[in-house]
Every structure is written in structure tokens, then in C-alpha cells.
């Protein structure tokens, strides 16, 4: 077994243990026993249980972000195309990787002062910069209102995260990707600029997710410390604080899902 095989085996077994028994109840001795690796091989890669969980978390977020990098490699044809692509990737990845998604949501976040936290922050920072550049043409054209990437990410991915967690819990009886169009409509309504906004954006406009984390950068469960720079313009201090809430409604008016996030906004 190569070193990469050993590392992969330990992470796969750890994921199964964390989901079956919970993180707190899982011991590193149990992971070693079930993975069949020696103590020396295990501790060569992971000195602690926390290191195993951190590596698994970063691996999950990197896997999710790979699809977002594919998305931002091509200029979006429209706001709807951009939003649809981000949400479709988020929900498709969750459907295809339900165990990793459950682990990420259960783990919540990393300690940013650890090596894994620094690695994740770098991943998020690079993707946020790419998303700002990707969204800039839509901001300049006035199709998207100016705002920090944190807010844009919350509008796009927040409700999708709420739907995803209910689906993972077995509370929804339809495919997760069946919500893409409705979520896209809701997000586009929240991002579109009014005529006045469009004039200001085209005159002055030159992020995490969740995304990814979280969307788009990170999955909400893995977002880096907030990047308040507006899409389409350089980062700058933003003193005002705001909160956005989105609700996805059924035909009868009942709330299917709700997402909320705080953000730094320019006055």
C-alpha cells in the first residue's frame, strides 16, 4: 500500500466512523483498527483525530470547489446562467457526495489558526477573487447590483444549503436537483439591480461561498473569514453591517426553506 493509499484509506474509514458514531465518540484507535494500517503509518500522516477530521474537511471543500473553478473558467452569458450554474453545481455535488456533505455540515467550520484552517482560507481567498472577476461584467452592465461577495454568496447559496440539509436528513421526497430552477429564480430576484442601481454599478464597478463554505465559494459550512469586497471592484473597508434573509415558498405560501447571513455593506 502506497502512502497515498494509506492516507486515502484512513480518511475513508474516518468518514464512515464519524457519520456512524459521531465525531466525539470516534477514537483514533478505532480508526486505526478499522482501516487496518499500522500505528506508525497512521501517525505518519495524522498525529491526532482532529488532524484527520481537518484533512477530511479540506478535502471535501476542495472537491466541491473544483466544480466552481470549472464554472468560472467561462464568462457567464447572463445573470441567470451564472446563478443557475452555481446552484446546480452545489446541489449536484451534494447529491453525488452525500456522506462528505453530511460531514461538512456536521463539522461546521475549522479553526482558522490551524494549518488546515490556513489551507482552507487560501483556497477560499483564491476562489473569491476569481468570482469577483467572473461577476464583474454583470455588475458593470448593471444586471447585478453592487455588493460584497459575502452577500452575493449568501443570496445564491444560503437557501440551497437549507434545502440540501433537509434533503440529507431524508425530509424531502424529490431529487435535490429538482429545486435548481426555483432557487435560481429566487436568487436572481435578490441580485438584480434596479435601474438606479444599474447606472451606479456601470459607472463605478471596475469572496468565500460555500461555497462553498460555500457557494459559491464554500459551502457555507466552510467559508473563510468574510471578504467584503464588492464584485467588480477592489477590496476596501466597509463599515456598515447588514443581514439578508431569503425564503423559498411553496404554492400555498408555506416556507420550504430559509437562509440568512450577515454581511458588511458599503453605505
Do 22 and 126 belong together in one domain? no
Q: What is the CATH number of the domain that holds 11?
A: 1.10.10.60
State the total domains in the chain. Answer: 2
In a domain, 96, yes or no: yes
Do 40 and 126 belong together in one domain? no
- Residue 234 has a CB neighbour count (10 Å cut-off) of 8
| Residue pair 73/36 in contact by the 8 Å Cβ criterion | no
In a domain, 100, yes or no: yes
Do 21 and 133 belong together in one domain? no
pLDDT attached to residue 260 = 60
The per-residue pLDDT string of the chain (267 residues; one tens digit each, 9 = 90 and over) reads 677 788 999 999 999 999 999 999 999 999 999 999 999 999 999 999 999 999 999 999 999 999 999 999 999 999 999 999 999 999 999 999 999 999 999 998 889 999 999 999 999 999 999 999 999 999 999 899 888 888 888 999 999 999 999 999 999 999 999 999 999 999 999 999 764 443 333 333 333 333 344 433 444 344 444 444 555 544 444 445 555 566 665 555 555 666 665 555 544
Closest among 231, 233, 154, 249 to 193, alpha carbons compared: 231
Do 15 and 86 belong together in one domain? no
Do 135 and 181 belong together in one domain? yes
| Contacts with 210 (C-beta within 8 Å, 6 or more apart), sequence order | 153, 157, 161, 216, 217, 218, 219, 220, 221, 222, 223
In a domain, 236, yes or no: yes
In a domain, 251, yes or no: yes
Do 41 and 67 belong together in one domain? no
Do 133 and 210 belong together in one domain? yes
DSSP3 helix / strand / coil % (the chain, rounded to 5): 60, 10, 30
pLDDT attached to residue 149 = 82
Do 131 and 6 belong together in one domain? no
Query: Measured between alpha carbons, how far is 170 from 164 in angstroms, rounded to an integer?
Result: 10
Query: Measured between alpha carbons, how far is 54 from 74 in angstroms, rounded to an integer?
Result: 31
Do 76 and 143 belong together in one domain? yes
Separation of CA 224 from chain center? 10
pLDDT attached to residue 255 = 57
pLDDT attached to residue 127 = 93
In a domain, 53, yes or no: no
Query: Measured between alpha carbons, how far is 239 from 226 in angstroms, rounded to an integer?
Result: 13
pLDDT attached to residue 259 = 65
Query: Measured between alpha carbons, how far is 112 from 102 in angstroms, rounded to an integer?
Result: 21
In a domain, 52, yes or no: no
Do 26 and 100 belong together in one domain? no
DSSP line for 3-45: HHHHHHHHHHHHHHHHHHH-TTT--HHHHHHHHT--HHHHHHH
This prediction has a pTM of: 0.74
Do 81 and 173 belong together in one domain? yes
Q: What is the CATH number of the domain that holds 131?
A: 1.10.357.10
pLDDT attached to residue 145 = 87
User: Across the strands, what pairs with 192?
Assistant: 144
pLDDT attached to residue 230 = 53
Phi, psi values for residue 97, rounded to 5°: -130, 55
Do 22 and 130 belong together in one domain? no
Range of the domain at 43: 1-47
Amino acid at each position: 500500500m502506497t502512502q497515498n493509499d494509506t492516507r486515502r484509506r484512513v480518511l475513508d474509514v474516518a468518514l464512515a466512523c464519524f457519520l456512524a458514531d459521531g465525531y466525539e465518540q470516534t477514537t483514533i484507535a478505532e480508526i486505526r483498527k478499522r482501516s487496518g494500517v499500522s500505528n506508525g503509518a497512521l501517525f505518519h500522516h495524522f498525529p491526532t483525530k482532529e488532524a484527520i477530521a481537518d484533512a477530511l474537511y479540506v478535502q471535501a471543500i476542495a472537491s466541491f470547489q473544483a466544480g466552481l473553478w470549472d464554472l468560472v473558467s467561462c464568462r457567464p452569458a447572463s445573470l441567470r446562467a451564472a446563478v443557475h450554474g452555481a446552484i446546480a453545481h452545489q446541489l449536484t455535488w451534494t447529491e453525488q457526495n452525500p456522506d462528505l456533505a453530511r460531514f461538512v455540515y456536521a463539522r461546521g467550520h475549522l479553526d482558522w489558526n490551524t494549518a488546515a484552517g490556513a489551507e482552507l482560507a487560501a483556497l477560499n481567498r483564491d476562489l473569491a477573487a476569481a468570482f469577483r472577476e467572473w461577476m464583474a461584467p454583470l455588475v458593470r452592465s448593471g444586471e447585478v447590483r453592487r455588493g460584497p461577495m459575502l452577500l452575493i454568496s449568501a443570496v445564491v447559496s444560503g437557501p440551497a444549503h437549507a434545502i440540501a440539509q433537509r434533503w440529507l436528513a431524508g425530509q424531502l421526497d424529490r431529487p435535490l436537483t429538482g429545486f435548481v430552477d426555483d432557487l435560481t429564480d429566487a436568487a436572481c430576484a435578490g441580485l438584480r439591480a434596479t435601474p438606479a442601481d444599474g447606472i451606479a454599478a456601470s459607472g463605478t464597478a471596475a469572496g468565500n461561498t460555500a461555497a462553498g463554505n460555500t457557494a459559491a465559494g464554500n459551502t457555507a459550512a466552510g467559508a473563510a473569514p468574510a471578504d467584503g469586497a464588492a464584485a467588480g471592484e477592489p477590496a476596501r473597508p466597509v463599515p456598515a453591517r447588514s443581514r439578508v434573509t431569503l425564503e423559498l415558498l411553496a404554492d400555498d405560501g408555506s416556507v420550504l426553506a430559509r437562509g440568512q447571513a450577515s454581511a458588511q455593506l458599503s453605505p
